[in-house]
Amino acid sequence: MKYDALPSDLFANNRKRLAASLPRKSLAVIHSADLAWRSADGTQPFIQSSDLFYLSGMDQEETILLLFPSHPDPAMREILFVRETSELLAVWEGRKATPEEATGISGVAKVLWTKDFDAVFRTLVREAESIWLNHNEHARSGAPVNFSLDDRFRRLCQERHPHHRYERLAPLLHRLRAEKSEAEIALIQRACDITAKGFDRLLRFVRPGVKEYEIEAELLHEFVRHGSRGFAYQPIVASGANACVLHYVANDQPCRDGDLILLDVAAEYANYNSDLTRTIPANGRFTPRQRAVYDAVLRILRLCIDELAVPGKAIREVYQKEAARAVEEELIALGLLDAAKVAEERAQEDLPEEKRAYRKYFMHGVSHSLGLDVHDVAPAENVFVENMVVTVEPGIYIREEGIGIRLENDIVVRSGGNLDLMAHIPIEAEEIEARMAGL
């Protein structure tokens, strides 16, 4: 792995928190991700299951974690199963973790080969009253049933042991993963710092005539050379009118003089993600109209970070609406909305947000949870919690003018004042212009 070794107590503490949430005689099973096949005999780069990594730190395929916190034998309370290594495997694929190395990574004392899992599970399941199985329950997930190893094991387990009580592990993990430890925050900060280096590089590189994919290449170079696997998500480098396409990923057009370039690009580090958006002028100078829209978006971002995102606040029902009202005020000032029309809509409290006039210019959410997943899991209650890491990403998109501006920073939500993990990355228009001028 490109990243530095992580302390095993990070994962031991995560398991301890989960164990405290499980009732007596609970048996929990979490699988690693599959190797994703492309075609013929090719595979995609391996990306570990976020839940398995959160609880074990193991970045290797064919790994299984078994937890039985109330088992009378302490040696049977945590068992990690890893792929059996060999000299032949080392020649073809490289070394895999030995049981001793897996213990050093995870802090789990008892490590066996994956081939031993079935026998151990059959023994322990007879002593369990409930079996806790995992599934991707992210609200945005469109993954098919029985897609992952966890899904396939769930079906097999219920066939073999139909009389046990089955419980969902995902709601517990969502609640635990939403509140980040200081060690996790430090890893996200590391990803943000690598992203900052990439952004600084491209500010010195961008000029009229460069292709969007050339900017992408500059970023990838900088990310990888600082220990990242690369982009945390598929990068968006959108110049001119492309910036009004929210998920534009073609990145194949030239950046013209007078264009704005919307950059939704960020690095990951040790499986933890950052998420940055900046909008810069291709020629290094904002026009007066571009600057007016840019400053409007920046004011909304500052408002969300400094005043609106607080622990206990409902994210969708309250925070999003408060941000939307601020967007309305800015759109009125920009001459894009009629103040009387907005006042009329505000008087209609039951008018759905998607039917309000501002949605023509701001049509997405202003925030999402961030961590081991870019759109990380969040509590079912959908409220900000202490030490939750979230993005703040307002935008204004004026398709008829070919202007799309979005700004995004990552913050730690705290009752004593939010921590901006990207405060050191240039965002003021003057600073961006100065950096692009080499000042």
Given the residues 216, 330, 408, 410, select the one marked as catalytic: 408
Active-site residue 397, yes or no? Answer: yes
In the residue annotation, 408 being an active-site residue is answered as yes
Residue 201 tokens read as: 């590089």
Catalytic site includes residue 226: no
Catalytic annotation present for 264: yes
* Annotated catalytic residue within 168, 364, 399, 424: 364
Which one of 397, 410, 420, 433 is the catalytic residue?
397
Give the per-residue SS3 of the chain. CCCCCCCHHHHHHHHHHHHHHCCCCEEEEEECCCCCECCCCCECCCCCCHHHHHHHCCCCCCCEEEECCCCCCHHHCEEEEECCCCHHHHHHCCCCCCHHHHHHHHCCCEEEEHHHHHHHHHHHHCCCCEEEECCCCCCCCCCCCCCCHHHHHHHHHHHHCCCCEEEECHHHHHHHHHCCCHHHHHHHHHHHHHHHHHHHHHHCCCCCCCEHHHHHHHHHHHHHHCCCCCECCCCEEEEHHHHHCCCCCCCCCECCCCCEEEEECCEEECCEECCCEEEEECCCCCCHHHHHHHHHHHHHHHHHHHHHCCCCCEHHHHHHHHHHHHHHHHHHHCCCCCHHHHHHHHHCCCCCHHHCHHHHCCCCCCCCECCCCCCCCCCCCCECCCCEEEEECCEEEEHHHCEEEECEEEEEECCCCCEECCCCCCCCHHHHHHHHCCC
Q: Single out the catalytic residue among 4, 41, 100, 349.
A: 41
Q: Is 368 one of the catalytic residues?
A: yes
Catalytic residue among 359, 375, 414, 435: 375
The verdict on whether 406 is a catalytic residue reads yes
Q: Which of 212, 264, 420, 433 is catalytic?
A: 264
Catalytic residue of the set 368, 376, 410, 433? 368
Q: Which entry of 393, 410, 420, 433 is annotated as an active-site residue?
A: 393
Q: Tokens representing 270?
A: 């040790």
Q: Of the residues 406, 410, 420, 433, which is catalytic?
A: 406
Tokens of 289: 């109209």
Is 375 a catalytic site residue?
A: yes
Q: Which of 62, 218, 222, 275 is catalytic?
A: 275
Tokens matching residue 370: 């961030």
- CA–CA dist 333, 91 (Å, integer): 65
Of residues 38, 247, 350, 400, which has the active-site annotation? 247
Give catalytic residue positions: 41, 247, 264, 275, 364, 368, 375, 393, 397, 406, 408
